[in-house]
Amino acid sequence: MSHLKPSVSQADHRAGPEDASVTLVEYGDYECPHCGRAYPIVKRVQQALEGQLRFVFRNFPLGEIHPHAVRTAEAAEAAAAQGKFWEMHDVLYENQRALEDTHLLEYAEQLALDVSRVRRELQDSTYADRVRADFRSGVRSGVNGTPTFFVNGERLDGPWDFEGLMNAIERARAGATRHA
């Protein structure tokens, strides 16, 4: 079983309460069709466990097979710098078939971001180091494909459908309650 390295920190993109008994981490690629299928499942899990689950997303762009993966991860980071990571995250997954630079800038405009800043940051690869750091953490954690999930720091090797995620989260919650 693989363990998450490094642990979740303030540097991560987090949604949900900081003191949640369960943290779900996804290593994902915005162009990956499997991640696209996982996206609504994760949303459903978040809704089912609202206020009880912390969700973390880390970039794991598979650039050799997904030509827009690195660029879209950098666009999400550019949005994060303007306080709209989750909004861009959602837009990218909801528009997986439209990930050219022109689309990324359209999404930035839709989200009321400073589009010229996003354009400049994409041209300068401002967030390339951040994306690479996420990727390297995934490699250290044993990630070899996307999506890969960790529940309370332990890699989920079972199914990541709704039932699979909920079962893994429930097991982690029971374990957290026993150790509290």
Residue 109's domain is classified under what CATH number? 3.40.30.10
- Give the chain's domain count: 1
- What is the Cα–Cα distance from 22 to 175, expressed in whole angstroms? 10
Task: State whether residue 66 is helix, strand or coil.
Answer: coil
174 located within any domain: yes
Structural domain for 118, as ranges: 13-179
pTM of structure? 0.95
User: Tokens representing 67?
Assistant: 């030509």
6 located within any domain: no
7 located within any domain: no
- What is the Cα–Cα distance from 117 to 69, expressed in whole angstroms? 20
Phi–psi pair at 155, nearest 5 degrees: -65, 135
5 located within any domain: no
- What is the Cα–Cα distance from 3 to 23, expressed in whole angstroms? 13
CA neighbor of 26 nearest in space, from 160, 127, 176, 168: 160
Residue 158 CB-half CA count within 13 A = 12
pLDDT digit string, tens, across residues 100-133: 999 999 999 999 999 999 999 999 999 999 999 9
pLDDT digit string, tens, across residues 32-82: 999 999 999 999 999 999 999 999 999 999 999 999 999 999 999 999 999
pLDDT digit string, tens, across residues 146-180: 999 999 999 999 899 999 999 999 999 887 655 44
79 located within any domain: yes
